[in-house]
Amino acid sequence: MNTNSQNTFEVNFDGLVGPTHNYAGLSVGNVASLKNAAQASNPKQGALQGLAKMKALSDMGLKQAVLPPLERPDVHVLRQLGFSGSDEQVITRAAKEAPSVFAATCSASSMWTANACTISPSSDTQDRKVHFTAANLSNKFHRSIEAPTTSRVLEAIFTNSEYFSHHEALPMGDHFGDEGAANHTRFCQSYGEQGVEFFVFGKYAFDNSKLFPKKYPARQTFEASQAIARLHQLNKNKTVFAQQNPDVIDAGVFHNDVIAVGNQDCLFYHETAFLNSDKVIDDLQTAFGESPMHFIKVPESSVSIFDAVHTYLFNSQLVTLTDGTMAIIAPGECRENANVKAYLDSVIAGDNPISKVEIYDVKQSMQNGGGPACLRQRVVLSESEMNASNQAVYINDALFGTLNNWVEKHYRDSLSESDLADPQLLVESRTALDELTQILNLDSVYPFQL
């Protein structure tokens, strides 16, 4: 089991962009997703951009791993919906008879592994195991079909029951809508010590008298966040719940990680992010203890919500470097926006733990509605827990080269919505994924392999 005497690391598990990466504009409330609907995508470029970011963080001395994409189109779900025949007949018929449903089963959204699950490290849980709960993502049909395969992938990587505990996704339906780590942040002095787990939700599902957004849906409920905290056996005194500001949801802030990001003792957030913001900050500091946290509040006068949403400033990664300082891993759009660039320059010059900003091109992800932080799931692991997990998924020079060659071999340079019904694309994708499971030592995790 994990002990404080062991070295403990935060590992970034990045989602690999899949061979059917496409822009179908499926996500209401996600401005970028809707804006770029029906444009041709470049799956090969998207995957290579993501791998380049993974390798760069690994080269910085951070622990980095990869999560595989899901199988798309999801023929298994199409069969559940009444389409029959051979796999080729299923996708041909679905694309013709129910094109919107078919497009949803082709979604590339599993690449955003911030939504894959919520994870609590062993130092926070009563049984001293690392807990995983796959997100049900019930608010969007195209995402609600992800949890079964996501759970199999997590169980194939974190298999040892002495160290890891896996939970089923919460019950489907609006009342327990759960969007995973995109609405969950952990604060701590050092990664191996007990931390504060911070859950941000969009609405109370069982109390209509409370405030809620009017234009776009609140995807995470208070009740779902409470359920995750119970399942993960968290200390109530070290758990903080906060409601997202309904007005920023209606401005396109569909998850908390579009308006706030935290790491260790630092919270970088927009002043409009939370309801009752002062109380939220007080609650976090009380749960954190005597040592003062660093709260970097970004005023609307410096960075508007509009600029935050369109550059994904807060959907950057906030990571601790080997020298103990922090860096913001930001998308290229933050450098292109004068207001955001100026603010980031002021943060680096200010009195706070953030010492640098690193810019990476993840435009294929950005155009589909997700920045650097969407692409990764943070997993805190002790040395023993790392050793007990699947070693084949951790990025090193050899795996980086192998995955780049795999992408070059299997991925298309351009993919339009009409291409998704091409039966040959299904064959290409399954061939690629079958090979990937061998590279990553995952056994059989995809429906076509079962």
Which residues are identified as catalytic?
179, 255, 374
- Residues 61-77 as b/e (b if ≥16 CB within 10 A, e otherwise) read ebbbbbbbbbbbbbbbb
Helices 397-410, 423-439: crossing angle, 10 deg rounding: 170
Residues 136 and 176: beta-carbon distance below 8 Å: yes
289 Cβ contact list (under 8 Å, min separation 6)? none
Number of neighbours of residue 296 by Cβ within 10 angstroms: 17
The CA dihedral of 330, 254, 47, 262, to the nearest 10 degrees, is 40
169 Cβ contact list (under 8 Å, min separation 6)? 133, 134, 135, 136, 147, 151, 178
363 Cβ contact list (under 8 Å, min separation 6)? 49, 331, 332
Of 62, 61, 65, nearest to 16 (Cα)? 65
Distance between CA 45 and CA 362 in Å, rounded?
9
Amino acid at 14: D
Number of neighbours of residue 341 by Cβ within 10 angstroms: 17
The three state secondary structure string of 248-288 is HHCCCCCCHHHCEEEECCEEEEECCCECCHHHHHHHHHHHH
Distance between CA 110 and CA 113 in Å, rounded?
6
Of 113, 262, 146, nearest to 197 (Cα)? 262
Q: What is the DSSP letter of 82?
A: T
How far, CA to CA in Å, does 127 sit from each of 64, 122, 280, 385? 26, 8, 28, 14
Distance between CA 400 and CA 265 in Å, rounded?
31
How far, CA to CA in Å, does 274 sit from each of 104, 245, 247? 31, 5, 10
Q: In which element (H, E) is residue 72 found?
A: none
